[in-house]
Protein backbone atom coordinates (compact mmCIF):
# COMPACT_ATOMS: atom_id res chain seq x y z
CA UNK A 1 0.00 0.00 0.00
CA UNK A 2 2.93 2.37 -0.48
CA UNK A 3 2.66 5.21 -2.96
CA UNK A 4 4.71 4.48 -6.09
CA UNK A 5 3.76 7.51 -8.17
CA UNK A 6 1.93 10.76 -7.69
CA UNK A 7 0.71 13.37 -10.13
CA UNK A 8 -1.11 16.58 -9.23
CA UNK A 9 -3.25 17.90 -12.09
CA UNK A 10 -5.64 20.73 -12.71
CA UNK A 11 -9.38 20.20 -12.47
CA UNK A 12 -9.58 20.00 -16.27
CA UNK A 13 -7.78 16.62 -16.27
CA UNK A 14 -10.03 13.62 -15.65
CA UNK A 15 -9.00 10.79 -13.34
CA UNK A 16 -8.81 8.49 -16.33
CA UNK A 17 -6.41 10.84 -18.15
CA UNK A 18 -4.37 11.16 -14.96
CA UNK A 19 -4.07 7.39 -14.73
CA UNK A 20 -2.06 7.35 -17.95
CA UNK A 21 0.37 9.86 -16.46
CA UNK A 22 0.76 7.99 -13.15
CA UNK A 23 1.28 4.43 -14.38
CA UNK A 24 5.07 4.15 -14.45
CA UNK A 25 6.48 2.11 -17.31
CA UNK A 26 9.57 1.05 -15.36
CA UNK A 27 7.83 -0.35 -12.25
CA UNK A 28 7.05 -4.05 -12.56
CA UNK A 29 3.41 -4.77 -11.78
CA UNK A 30 1.15 -7.72 -12.36
CA UNK A 31 -2.23 -5.96 -12.19
CA UNK A 32 -3.89 -2.58 -12.10
CA UNK A 33 -7.01 -2.29 -9.95
CA UNK A 34 -9.29 0.68 -10.52
CA UNK A 35 -12.99 1.44 -10.40
CA UNK A 36 -15.19 1.64 -13.49
CA UNK A 37 -14.55 5.36 -13.96
CA UNK A 38 -11.09 4.45 -15.27
CA UNK A 39 -12.49 2.17 -17.99
CA UNK A 40 -12.68 4.90 -20.58
CA UNK A 41 -11.38 2.87 -23.49
CA UNK A 42 -11.01 -0.69 -24.69
CA UNK A 43 -7.58 0.32 -25.99
CA UNK A 44 -6.25 0.90 -22.45
CA UNK A 45 -7.46 -2.53 -21.32
CA UNK A 46 -5.90 -4.20 -24.35
CA UNK A 47 -2.62 -2.27 -23.95
CA UNK A 48 -2.29 -3.25 -20.30
CA UNK A 49 -3.11 -6.86 -21.09
CA UNK A 50 -0.63 -6.89 -23.97
CA UNK A 51 2.09 -5.64 -21.59
CA UNK A 52 1.48 -8.59 -19.27
CA UNK A 53 -0.53 -6.57 -16.75
CA UNK A 54 -3.97 -7.80 -15.68
CA UNK A 55 -6.40 -4.87 -15.87
CA UNK A 56 -8.89 -5.28 -13.01
CA UNK A 57 -11.18 -2.49 -14.13
CA UNK A 58 -14.86 -3.41 -14.49
CA UNK A 59 -16.30 -2.37 -17.85
CA UNK A 60 -19.49 -0.31 -17.98
CA UNK A 61 -22.76 -2.17 -17.44
CA UNK A 62 -23.72 -1.53 -21.09
CA UNK A 63 -20.47 -3.03 -22.47
CA UNK A 64 -20.88 -5.47 -25.34
CA UNK A 65 -18.75 -8.18 -26.92
CA UNK A 66 -17.22 -6.96 -30.19
CA UNK A 67 -15.69 -10.22 -31.37
CA UNK A 68 -12.62 -8.59 -32.89
CA UNK A 69 -8.96 -9.47 -32.36
CA UNK A 70 -8.21 -5.97 -31.04
CA UNK A 71 -10.88 -6.36 -28.30
CA UNK A 72 -9.95 -9.84 -27.08
CA UNK A 73 -9.38 -8.98 -23.39
CA UNK A 74 -12.42 -6.71 -23.25
CA UNK A 75 -14.60 -9.42 -24.75
CA UNK A 76 -13.26 -12.00 -22.30
CA UNK A 77 -14.14 -9.81 -19.30
CA UNK A 78 -17.59 -8.89 -20.64
CA UNK A 79 -18.43 -12.55 -21.35
CA UNK A 80 -17.24 -13.58 -17.88
CA UNK A 81 -19.43 -10.94 -16.23
CA UNK A 82 -22.41 -11.90 -18.40
CA UNK A 83 -21.98 -15.59 -17.48
CA UNK A 84 -21.02 -15.40 -13.81
CA UNK A 85 -21.94 -11.88 -12.66
CA UNK A 86 -20.01 -8.84 -11.50
CA UNK A 87 -19.28 -10.25 -8.04
CA UNK A 88 -17.63 -13.33 -9.56
CA UNK A 89 -15.43 -10.91 -11.53
CA UNK A 90 -14.56 -9.09 -8.29
CA UNK A 91 -13.65 -12.35 -6.58
CA UNK A 92 -11.70 -13.89 -9.48
CA UNK A 93 -9.48 -10.86 -10.07
CA UNK A 94 -9.12 -9.60 -6.47
CA UNK A 95 -11.07 -6.39 -6.98
CA UNK A 96 -11.81 -6.31 -3.23
CA UNK A 97 -8.29 -4.98 -2.65
CA UNK A 98 -9.60 -1.65 -3.94
CA UNK A 99 -11.46 -1.24 -0.64
CA UNK A 100 -8.07 -1.11 1.10
CA UNK A 101 -7.10 1.80 -1.12
CA UNK A 102 -10.39 3.56 -0.33
CA UNK A 103 -9.72 3.02 3.39
CA UNK A 104 -6.25 4.51 2.96
CA UNK A 105 -7.70 7.57 1.21
CA UNK A 106 -10.25 7.97 4.00
CA UNK A 107 -7.45 7.81 6.58
CA UNK A 108 -5.49 10.47 4.70
CA UNK A 109 -8.48 12.79 4.58
CA UNK A 110 -9.21 12.36 8.30
CA UNK A 111 -5.59 12.92 9.35
CA UNK A 112 -4.36 15.50 6.85
CA UNK A 113 -7.51 17.10 5.48
CA UNK A 114 -9.73 16.90 2.42
CA UNK A 115 -7.76 19.31 0.27
CA UNK A 116 -4.30 20.64 -0.32
CA UNK A 117 -3.23 23.76 1.53
CA UNK A 118 -1.31 25.48 -1.27
CA UNK A 119 -2.79 27.18 -4.31
CA UNK A 120 -0.08 27.06 -6.99
CA UNK A 121 0.28 23.82 -8.99
CA UNK A 122 4.04 23.59 -8.36
CA UNK A 123 3.49 23.95 -4.60
CA UNK A 124 0.70 21.37 -4.70
CA UNK A 125 3.07 18.91 -6.39
CA UNK A 126 5.54 19.37 -3.53
CA UNK A 127 2.76 18.99 -0.98
CA UNK A 128 1.63 15.80 -2.71
CA UNK A 129 5.14 14.33 -2.52
CA UNK A 130 5.29 15.14 1.20
CA UNK A 131 1.93 13.41 1.77
CA UNK A 132 3.02 10.38 -0.27
CA UNK A 133 6.22 10.08 1.78
CA UNK A 134 4.21 10.42 4.99
CA UNK A 135 1.93 7.59 3.85
CA UNK A 136 4.88 5.33 3.17
CA UNK A 137 6.19 6.07 6.67
CA UNK A 138 2.79 5.26 8.20
CA UNK A 139 2.70 1.98 6.30
CA UNK A 140 6.17 1.10 7.59
CA UNK A 141 4.70 0.83 11.09
CA UNK A 142 2.72 -2.25 10.01
CA UNK A 143 -0.93 -3.21 10.25
CA UNK A 144 -2.89 -2.74 13.46
CA UNK A 145 -4.19 -5.80 15.24
CA UNK A 146 -7.63 -5.30 16.74
CA UNK A 147 -8.92 -7.54 19.51
CA UNK A 148 -12.46 -7.38 20.85
CA UNK A 149 -12.62 -7.10 24.63
CA UNK A 150 -15.70 -8.86 26.00
Give the pLDDT band of residue 79 (cuts 50, 70, 90). very high
Residue 12: the pLDDT is 85
> Which secondary structure element, helix H or strand E, spans residue 32, and what is its range?
strand 31-33
Alpha-carbon gap, residue 59 to 21, rounded angstroms:
21
Alpha-carbon gap, residue 100 to 86, rounded angstroms:
19
Per residue in 20-42, pLDDT tens?
A: 777 766 667 888 888 887 787 78
Give the pLDDT band of residue 83 (cuts 50, 70, 90). very high
Residue 69: the pLDDT is 87
User: In 10 A of CB 34, how many CB atoms?
Assistant: 18
Position 66 pLDDT exceeds 80: yes
Residues 44, 45, 48, 50, CA torsion sign? negative
pLDDT-wise least confident of 5-9, 29-33, 83-87: 5-9
pTM for the full predicted model: 0.68
Looking at the DSSP bridge assignments, the partners of residue 31 are 54
Amino acid sequence: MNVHAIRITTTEVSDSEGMDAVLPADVPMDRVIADGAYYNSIERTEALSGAGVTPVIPPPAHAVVHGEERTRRHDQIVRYIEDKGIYAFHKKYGYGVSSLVEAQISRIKRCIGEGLLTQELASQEGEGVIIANLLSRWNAFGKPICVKNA
